Chain A
Amino acid sequence: MKKLIPLLLSVLLLLLAAGCSNKVTQETVSKKTPEYKIGIVTPTLSASEDEFRGADKVVKKYPGMIKHLTLPDNFESEQETAITQIVSLADDKDMKGIVICAGYSGILPAIQKVKEKRPEMVVITAPIWDDPDMMAKYIDLCLDTDWLKRGETIPTKAHQMGAKTFIHYSFPTHMAKELLANRRDKMKATCEKLGMTFVDISTPDPFTGSGPSPMLQFLQEDIPRQIAKYGKDTCIFGTNCPMQDVIIAKALELGFIMAEQCCPTPTQGFPAAMNLEIKPEDAGNFDKINEMIKVKAKEANETGRLSTWPVPVGVFFPEFSVEVAKGMIEGSVDKTNMEQLGKIAKDVAGVDVHFNKMKPEYNNYYLIIMDSIIY
């Protein structure tokens, strides 16, 4: 028994490592030699599926041109490794651009080193979370999602979809976060402006003790109660990822509106709530997944009452950033031209993407909001 456990553990670890590695190694096999290369840096598959798959997609789109690097799994404790990895990209003379999609803090020093060595290197971050002023100074183009602006766009979309009431489910731990609390206040203000009733409901906190189960059970009981009270023309928004399964499942059952999840993507909530049978060959094919959701929404008589962003930002950013980097290297794209960026984004995402300046004085730090798909 004592010998068996370590053996079992190591076999499992080996299996997992093998499962990951065959993905990571399928990198640059140059068929035709392009004049330059672009490096793309993402977290590992287990840390974040979206960014990893997004980069994988670009690698396949431009064979031989893209070098995909993955950051250490436990980034926090291995920042030095991460910095060395990124700086090593600058050693390659053909490397003309670096795209970093990581959502970590502490990557800026690596970029500073790269810029010291190769000032002409095009660096795009989508996103990293260091000090915005420093980022705008050193990085050619900084991109991120406009989390706060969604406090305005979500109720507006719900209003267009016919909502008369907007319910915001959250709990103390989330409301203690400045960004989320500000977004809630913005939602409330937007609802008042549009003449919708804003209802703020607190669920049991999933971060204290018993985990998410009490919160999810509460949602299952409370949603029917609220719909009975406010009617079907109600939009429900929950701030926590596990909530989305329940909200969407209940929407199919009770017919209310779900304008957007906390993390807008067709792959959150919908697959479990709708039992989407996504075959391995269709996995990651968003056109197909969106089509499946549309069919299921119609079956449940929910056409026009469910919506989200058609592509997760994690998958969108790597491809979009590489396209922009390519354009900047070839001289065909001007990073300060928001209209031009919007055009590229539309080609990648399939819908309009709106760019806003992070601060008015920056012309290289943009926050995005994507147009939605309504099923």
Chain B
Amino acid sequence: MKKFIRPPQIIILVFLAVLTITAIYLHIPLNAMFGDSLVRLVMNGVLVLSLLPMLNAGIGLNFGLPVGVVAGLLGMCLAVNYHQTGWFGLAAAMLFSAMIAVVFGYLYALLLNKVKGREEIAATFVGFSFVSLMCLFWSVAPFNNPAMLWPIGGKGMRLTVGLKDYFGKVLNNTWQFNILGIKISLGLLLFFFLLCFLVYLIYKTKIGRAMIAVGENEDFARLSGINVNRVRTLSVIFSTVLGALGICVYAQSYGFLELYTAPLMMAFPAASAILIGGSTGGKTTIGQVVLGGYLYQAIYVISGPVANQLLMPEFAEIIRMLATNLIILYALLYGEGLRKNA
């Protein structure tokens, strides 16, 4: 029987409550910030969701998220290169991304299956080195849309590519309305919850159950006739594809494609978020993804303006770093304890 609220959530909720009360006290309009926090939930939420399949299969936190992110960037570059715009552009970008992510995910899974037990640290370095490798690729990438090329050199990709004329904010602007000064992008939220629901459904199928079984007890799963490596491979591909879709959602919301070293650190905020949500590095629920994603981003949204108003920006930065990093540490300690006791 798992408790839903554990110390990490309590710390974060208290921190959030203090921030909110301070914000009210300082007359900072909360309704606009609530709208922002919902946008941020989805913007980063798919990336957080992408950690779930690997966690459930017992592979641990996917610190190799940059692999999926790069697949998504490649897919979006293809869509921009062929001037695909609007909804169709985003759909094309997602389709391309998913296809590339399947290939990348498969290769990534082969590697991870070789380093069983040390997946997290191996994945970290896969992510780092892959980003550097791709830096070489971006600088010679054979794309030819002039909106993507270096403005002085005339070849190779720019550091950032604007998506405004292609599919920037397509999801954000779908069914957007205002209630009580809160800007709500219904399209964006629906997309996210639909994706969560799909993932939920996948875990109700036979293969989904096999993934969870492998995560819970590999030996037992093997004895029940499950091909463990195949299931692990599928989970890694699943994670990578979700990561690729995640960066598509992120980039369309941000309005820019960020290439080169931008994906380098993307795994860490996502990992913090899922751990804040209550995951302990083992089986994780969609609820924990949503809760963690929301809490983590809400703190970012509120702490900035509050700290600036109080004229102590460094202090808020330190507290936030401390709180989020300590929670990761807590989760690692606690998760490890669980595994030993099991």
* Chain A positions near chain B (C-beta within 8 angstroms): 1, 9, 12-13, 15-16, 19, 45-46, 49-50, 53, 171-172, 201-205, 208-214, 216-218, 220-222, 225, 242, 245-246, 249, 266-267, 271-284, 289, 315
Contacts and interface: CB of A to CB of B under 8 A. Distances in A.
B287 interface: no
Contact of B137 (A12, A267, A283): A12
A222 B304 contact: yes
B158 A13 contact: no
A204 B317 contact: yes
B136 A276 contact: no
B126 to A, nearest CB: 11
B110 A1 contact: yes
Contact of A53 (B107, B152, B262): B152
Given A19-B140, A49-B153, 18 more contacts: A1-B107, A1-B110, A9-B133, A19-B139, A50-B152, A172-B313, A201-B308, A202-B307, A222-B304, A225-B32, A242-B160, A266-B151, A273-B162, A273-B164, A275-B162, A277-B145, A280-B154, A283-B154
A16 B139 contact: yes
Q: Which size bracket describes the interface of B in this complex? A: 35 or more
B268 interface: yes
B152 A13 contact: no
A283 B36 CA distance: 38
Nearest to A314: B152
Nearest to B156: A19
Given A209-B321, A272-B160, A13 B314 contact: no
B308 to A, nearest CB: 5
Interface string B40-56: 10010000000000000
A218 B160 CA distance: 18
Given A12-B137, A202-B314, A245 B256 contact: yes
Contact of B154 (A9, A12, A212, A284): A284
A249 B153 CA distance: 23
A289 B162 CA distance: 16
A278 B139 contact: no
Given A203-B304, A210-B265, A214-B300, A49 B150 contact: yes
A217 B165 contact: no
A16 B146 contact: no
B25 to A, nearest CB: 18
Interface string B96-131: 000000000001001000000000000000000000
A221 B154 contact: no
30 contacts: A1-B107, A12-B133, A12-B136, A15-B140, A16-B139, A16-B140, A46-B139, A49-B152, A53-B153, A171-B313, A171-B317, A202-B304, A202-B307, A208-B317, A208-B321, A210-B269, A211-B266, A217-B40, A221-B33, A249-B162, A267-B152, A272-B256, A275-B165, A276-B147, A277-B147, A278-B151, A280-B155, A282-B154, A283-B149, A315-B152
Nearest to A176: B314
A206 to B, nearest CB: 10
B79 interface: no
Q: Which 5 A-B pairs have the closest CB atoms?
A: A283-B154, A202-B313, A280-B154, A211-B265, A277-B146
B161 interface: yes
A315 B151 CA distance: 13
Contacts of B155: 280, 283
Contacts of B268: 209-210
Main SS at interface, chain B: helix
Contacts of A214: 269, 300
A39 B140 CA distance: 29
A358 to B, nearest CB: 28
A94 B32 CA distance: 68
A245 B301 contact: no
Contacts of A213: 262, 265-266, 269
A238 B86 CA distance: 30
Given A217-B254, A272-B161, A16 B136 contact: yes
B187 interface: no
Contacts of B317: 171-172, 202, 204-205, 208
Given A205-B317, A280-B149, A283-B151, A272 B308 contact: no
A291 to B, nearest CB: 13
Contacts of B161: 272
B36 to A, nearest CB: 5
A293 to B, nearest CB: 11
B57 interface: no
A246 B256 CA distance: 9
Nearest to A277: B146
B255 interface: yes
A212 B262 contact: yes
Contacts of A209: 265, 268, 321, 325
Given A9-B133, A16-B140, A222 B254 contact: no
B305 A220 contact: no
A221 B308 CA distance: 14
B151 A222 contact: no
A284 to B, nearest CB: 4
Instruction: Pick from A211, A217, A245, A280 the residue with the most CB of B within 10 Å.
Output: A217
A46 B136 CA distance: 10
B146 A278 contact: yes
B139 A267 contact: no
Contacts of A201: 308
Contact of A275 (B33, B133, B147, B152): B147
B264 interface: yes
A13 B137 CA distance: 9
Contacts of A249: 162, 164, 255-256
Interface string B238-271: 0000000000000000111000001011101100
Contacts of B164: 249, 273, 275
Contacts of A278: 146-147, 149, 151, 154
Given A210-B265, A267-B151, A284-B154, A272 B146 contact: no
A209 B323 CA distance: 13
Given A245-B160, A273-B162, A281 B154 contact: yes
Contacts of B266: 211, 213
A182 B100 CA distance: 48
